[in-house]
Amino acid sequence: MKTQVMTFKINKSYEHWEKNFDSHREIQAAAGMTPLYRGRSEDDPQKVCIVVRMADEEKAANFMEENKDAILESGHILETTERSVYILSLIHISEPTRRRGISYAVLCLKK
């Protein structure tokens, strides 16, 4: 499975975009897309980043085209979109050795 990191600008509030994005979980899942993370830039509140696990890049591209109107309504400025696709694997999970509840996962990139 591949992971896509996408950044783009929005022309509406982040809260509006977020609500729209979250309301499409079912159709994202039907397209083989599992959102892992979403958030905005610390430096630019109009810049958004999402990380999505994809079963099929072609289905994900079709999802974007078929839902273009809803994506535009969310405030996503399509021409600002930058995509990177990675093949990620979990390489280590550590249980905390201290009493504090700290756990971490480290990911590596495969070419």
pLDDT tens for 18-41 read 999 999 999 999 999 999 999 999
32 dihedral zone (left: phi>0; alpha: psi -120 to 50; beta): left
For residue 7 the two structure tokens come to 């950044």
Helix (H, G, I), strand (E, B) or coil at 17: helix
pTM of the entire structure?
Answer: 0.77
pLDDT tens for 33-83 read 999 999 999 999 999 999 999 988 898 889 999 999 999 999 999 999 999
Q: What residues does 35 pair with on adjacent strands?
A: 52
Please give the single-letter amino acid code of residue 65: E
